[in-house]
Amino acid sequence: MDGVLRVEEVNALGNEQFVWIFNNIVENYPQVASAICNQCPFTSADHLADAASNYLDLLPIHGKEEVLKLHPDLAGRLADEGKLTKDSLREQKSAGLHNLTPEEKAQIKQLNASYREKFGFPFVICARENKAEAILQGLQTRLHNSHEKELETGINEVKKICRLRVKDLVLS
């Protein structure tokens, strides 16, 4: 999906419009859009995404954990129940998670549960930059990380997702 707004149009938005349009650049966390709307004018989609990344970097540890907790499990209950945000649905489909075999689905659900139990938040990876096999491998590998390392890795993945979502909305 290519951006739909020129950066000049983004800069002309009122705060309410800006927050409404960019409310899900970080999954279920419109606070990012609220926090960065006053940083206009932006010079590009990347500039806007950088502002969101900087906001995430400045969050305290518990804030970063809260951001991660707002993400759905990959190929999890929300996907099964058709309750993903439109962004997450598109992203999980692009990774092929809707085409998992029953065995792969059971494996990813078990790994998701182990991950969540260990870290206290769901496994987050930029699905649009990965396919199902790489996601399964990432889950297996990252389960061995420390909480600190996984918090950093998870937030970096959120920033990748955010950048792609911004580029879906803003022409580069």
| 170 close to 40: Cβ distance less than 8 angstroms | no
Domain ranges of the chain: 1-172
Amino acid 13: pLDDT: 97
Q: What is the model's pTM?
A: 0.95
Amino acid 2: pLDDT: 61
d(CA 40, CA 15): 10
pLDDT along the chain (172 residues), means of 10: 86 97 97 96 97 98 98 92 93 93 94 97 97 95 98 98 97 84
| Active-site annotation holds for 147 | no
CATH class for the region spanning 1-172:
mainly alpha
Q: What is the pLDDT of residues 109-126, one digit of tens each?
A: 999 999 999 999 999 999
| 128 close to 166: Cβ distance less than 8 angstroms | no
**What are the residues whose beta carbons fall under 8 Å from the beta carbon of 4, sequence distance 6 or more?**
168, 169, 170, 171
Amino acid 171: pLDDT: 92
Which three-class secondary structure string do you get for 53-74? HHHHHHCCHHHHHHHHHCCCCC
**Annotated catalytic residue, options 47, 62, 71, 147:** 71
